[in-house]
Amino acid sequence: MNVRTGKDGCARPLSTAHGRRVASDLIRARPGASLRQIARESGISLGTARDVRMRVEAGKDPVPPQQRTSEHRQGGAVRPAAPMVSPVPRPREVVLPVDLSAFLQDLKKDPSLRFSESGRMLLRLFDAHSLSVDGWRRLADAVPSHCGDIVASVARRLSQSWLSFAEQVEQRQVEMERVL
């Protein structure tokens, strides 16, 4: 049996190797698909889908070496990694410094953002989330212990929303570059 049942009653695979291979096929077939779509269709977590995408882009096997050996022990079918001709094309990512204030100031001056309601909302959200490392640390220290688990879960959920938003923006950028 290659499945375990968790305390919540849900069945989960002992190894994510099969799901990782399915995800890698999906990523190669649809490079613009969001991580959420890949995770949902391959039956793996969002974090595992992200790891698979990074491995595929780097030309590595989507299944880490330690999982490949456990796959052999469990009797799973191991197929060799598909040869990578070139990494999956991804939108260029701007590497930003830790202090985002200069970039945020430039964005605030952009009329296409300033003069639309959705642009102003985005700028307000960026402002609200642009704390320094010390600012985030002070906030974390201020969270009462009795609600730490909930605050951490909400923060993770919001970070997933931001990641999904970033992927949508990147996807739109790729689509716009294809048109041009």
- Condensed to tens digits (0 to 9), the pLDDT of residues 61-100 reads 999 887 766 554 445 544 444 444 444 455 555 555 566 7
Distance CA 141, CA 135 (A): 10
Asked if 167 and 105 sit in the same domain, the reply is yes
Q: Is residue 85 part of a domain?
A: no
Whether 38 is covered by a domain: the verdict is yes
Whether residue 135 is found in the same domain as residue 172: yes
Number of domains in the chain: 2
Same domain, 105 and 170: yes
Task: From 24, 57, 73, give the residue that closes a domain.
Answer: 73
Domain encompassing residue 116: 101-179
Amino acid at 85: V
* Claim to verify: residue 113 and residue 171 sit in the same structural domain: yes
- Are 157 and 119 in a shared domain? yes
Could you write out the three-class secondary structure of 96-152?
CCCCCHHHHHHHHHCHHHHCCHHHHHHHHHHHHHCCCHHHHHHHHHHCCHHHHHHHH
Place of tokens 């939108």: 91
Q: Which of 73, 90, 125 is the last residue of a domain?
A: 73
Determine the pLDDT at residue 177: 72
- Is 153 within the bounds of a domain? yes
Give pLDDT tens digits for 135-180: 888 999 999 999 888 898 888 888 888 888 888 888 887 777 776 6
- Summarised one tens digit per residue, pLDDT across range 23-61 is 999 998 888 888 888 888 888 888 888 999 999 888 889
Residue whose C-alpha is closest to residue 27's, from 95, 94, 82: 82
Within-domain flag for 30: yes
Tell me, yes or no, whether 151 lies in a domain.
Answer: yes
Last residue of a domain, one of 57, 73, 89: 73
162, 120: one domain: yes
Bridge partners, 12 (sequence order): 4
Question: In a 3-state reduction of DSSP, which class is residue 38?
Answer: helix
Residues 62 and 109 grouped into a single domain: no
Burial (CB count within 10 angstroms: exposed 0-12, middle 13-18, buried 19+), residue 88 = middle
